[in-house]
């Protein structure tokens, strides 16, 4: 499935916008009424249950089994860290997802940039959109094709894809 595609070692700074609380976990727990005597125990339980409050939690939760939902390149059985090379792509992705869930938001959301270094073997899918419009489908109809690519990449020990965002 990946035969004939450009595979190469890549190193790039990648970006992601993540909705994170504007306060530390401890401050949130205090606001919820957790007493100082119970703080360590409640904080440890929150961390154990994968509460996402730091940029590190965002990265870690991308690969925790209980957090997977089917997406363009991931299945319920494995996670994917979605990121971008350009800031405007991250912003457009947030705008898209906020439109879908705006009515479900009951409190203010704060977004923080997460910058990371990608260093691995990647397949460049850019330029394949005409032959495979599933790569940029504006709904889930393209997901089976893309998930098949991801399955093949996992089998071939490919670390990432370079692809255009549908947004």
- Using left for φ > 0, alpha for ψ between -120 and 50, and beta otherwise, residue 118 falls in beta
Number of residues in the chain: 167
CA distance 89 to 32: 35
What confidence score (pLDDT) does residue 55 get? 84
CA distance 81 to 63: 8
Q: Are 86 and 162 in contact (CB under 8 A)?
A: no
What confidence score (pLDDT) does residue 32 get? 87
What confidence score (pLDDT) does residue 66 get? 65
Sheet holding 160-162, edge to edge: 6-20, 110-124, 160-162
Q: Are 20 and 109 in contact (CB under 8 A)?
A: no
CA distance 163 to 167: 12
What confidence score (pLDDT) does residue 134 get? 95
CA distance 137 to 96: 14
Q: For Cα atoms 26, 28, 34, give the angle at the middle one, nearest 5 degrees.
A: 75
The pLDDT tens digits along the chain (167 residues) read 898 888 999 999 999 999 888 888 888 888 889 888 988 888 778 777 767 778 888 888 787 766 677 889 999 888 899 999 999 999 998 888 777 655 555 556 788 899 999 999 999 999 999 999 999 998 899 999 999 999 999 999 999 999 998 77
* DSSP output for 27-83: HHHHHTT--GGGHHHHHHHHHHTT---SHHHHHHHTT-GGG----SS-BTTB-----
Residues 72-92: pLDDT tens digits? 999 988 889 999 999 999 999
């Amino acid at each position: 499935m990946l035969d004939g595609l450009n595979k190469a070692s890549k190193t790039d700074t990648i970006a992601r916008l993540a909705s994170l609380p504007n306060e530390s976990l401890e401050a949130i727990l205090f606001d919820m009424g957790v007493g100082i005597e119970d703080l360590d125990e409640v904080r440890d339980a929150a961390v154990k249950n994968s509460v996402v409050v730091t940029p590190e939690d965002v990265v870690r939760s991308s690969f925790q089994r209980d957090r997977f939902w089917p997406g363009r390149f991931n299945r319920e059985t494995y996670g994917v860290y979605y990121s971008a090379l350009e800031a405007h792509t991250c912003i457009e992705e947030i705008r898209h997802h906020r439109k879908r869930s705006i009515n479900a938001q009951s409190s203010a959301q704060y977004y923080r940039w997460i910058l990371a270094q990608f260093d691995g073997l990647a397949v460049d899918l850019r330029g394949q959109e005409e032959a495979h419009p599933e790569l940029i489908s504006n709904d889930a109809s393209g997901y089976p094709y893309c998930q098949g690519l991801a399955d093949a990449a996992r089998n071939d020990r490919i670390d990432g894809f370079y692809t255009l965002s549908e947004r």
